[in-house]
Amino acid sequence: AKLQALHLGHNHVRDAGVAALARSPHLARLVSLGLGLNPFGDEGARALLRSKRLAGLSVLRLDDELAKY
């Protein structure tokens, strides 16, 4: 089985880490990615938006994933 969901909230992921995720061939089947409360900025956001490997994402969480609603 291929990885379909990855939640990395609160893991100090910065721009370089987000860019590495965006380039990873291992995440090509990812449909849900959680990066809430990580200190990445515009560079990391651009890497996510431009990523052909993450084209199948249907959920991108940038908020506090652990919050109770």
Which DSSP state fits 63? S
Percent of the chain residues past pLDDT 70, beyond the cut? 91
Give the containing element (helix H, strand E) for 34.
Answer: strand 32-34
pLDDT of residue 1: 60
Q: Which residue has the tokens 């490997």?
A: 53
The two structure tokens encoding residue 12:
């100090």
Q: Which residues of the chain register pLDDT less than 50?
A: 69
pLDDT of residue 69: 45
Q: How far apart are CA 53 and CA 21, in angstroms?
A: 9
